[in-house]
Amino acid sequence: MLTLTQMVMIGVEMLLLFIWIFFYIKGYGEAELFQNLEEKEYPLKDIYFVGYAVMTMMGYSYKSKSDRKLRREMEILYGKKYAEYYVRVIYAQKVTISFTLLAMAIPLYLAAGDIAAMGIAVMFAAVAYYYFGTVTEKRIFARSEELLGDFSEVVSKLALLTNAGMILKEAWEVVSKTGESTIYTEMQLSVDEMNNGVAEVDAYYRFGVRCMIPEIKKFTSTIVQGMLNGSEELEGMLRQQSGEVWAAKRQSVRRQGEKASGKLLIPMMIMFIGILIMVLIPIFTNIGV
């Protein structure tokens, strides 16, 4: 026979399930909005319309301070044209996943017969909402690391080609075709902009804005200054910039090595504690004998 607590829980679960189904039906017509997302970056994308329907019914305006910050992050990752779309995707993602986990909390409690199971599910729902709200920052950090990793090679190639007598615009196009990582993709976008009538200086400036990291912004400023001062000045600046970038990369590699060494201490400490437990437990057991 069901207890009063279980009956209340079943009632709450029926309400949550009804609300989930309501938003599923209400948002189903918008399912196509999320079909082109990559499954790896956006798990469970096929039901994001549930969270989208929740946000739409709430009349959320996406104009808070955190939303403006998120919009800037989306511009970095996907460009200004698609930033507004991805802001809504992020909200749909975190609301859908956290709401779905929350709806599973009570069935877990009823199945396990332990309130702790429900507490864990609620905790996971809260963590999911927070995690998917901050995952963009991690993507930007990973993107910045990738850009910085390839940046030194790009500057060296540009310096080599300009010193050989090639004009910067041609050298830029040649270098843009020598790789497939993010920085080369951004360079190819700059080439497309210049071919479509965007001024060369403006294309380099936009490249620096899209890449965002200070080292590349400084580099684009150097290019613009060199173009204004003449080709000879530009070649010297590129050589100097190349040396500075390689020095910065060596320091970055050194820091990453130090971080990796620090992270190795954690499993070593766990192993040490495990060995201590294995040694000390038999000793204390024999003391009592």
pTM metric for this prediction:
0.69
Q: Which tens digits make up the pLDDT trace of 136-170?
A: 888 888 888 888 888 888 888 887 888 888 888 89
Spacing of C-alpha 6 from chain mean position: 41
Confidence of residue 174 (pLDDT cuts 50, 70, 90): very high
Q: Which tens digits make up the pLDDT trace of 247-285?
A: 555 665 565 555 555 556 666 777 767 676 666 666 656
**Is-contact 255 270, C-beta < 8 A?**
no
Which distant-in-sequence residues (6+ apart) come within 8 Å of 159 by Cβ? Answer: 235, 238, 239, 241, 242
User: Is pLDDT above 70 for 3?
Assistant: yes
Mean pLDDT of 179-200: 90
Helices (H), ranges, the chain: 4-27, 48-58, 65-78, 80-103, 105-112, 115-163, 168-176, 182-195, 200-211, 214-229, 231-287
DSSP 110: H
**Is-contact 52 33, C-beta < 8 A?**
yes
SS3 60: coil
Instruction: Identify the residue whose tokens are 């495990």.
Output: 274
Which is more confident, 83 or 3? 83
Q: What is the pLDDT at residue 264? A: 61
Which is more confident, 154 or 246? 154
Q: What is the separation, in whole angstroms, between the first and last Cα of the chain?
A: 48
In angstroms, rounded to a whole number, what is the distance separating the alpha carbons of residues 237 and 219? 9
Instruction: Identify the residue whose tokens are 């499993």.
Output: 267
Q: How is residue 205 written in tokens? A: 């400036």
Mean pLDDT of 96-114: 82
**Is-contact 101 57, C-beta < 8 A?**
no
Q: What is the pLDDT at residue 46? A: 93
Of 35, 16, 141, 19, nearest to 89 (Cα)? 35
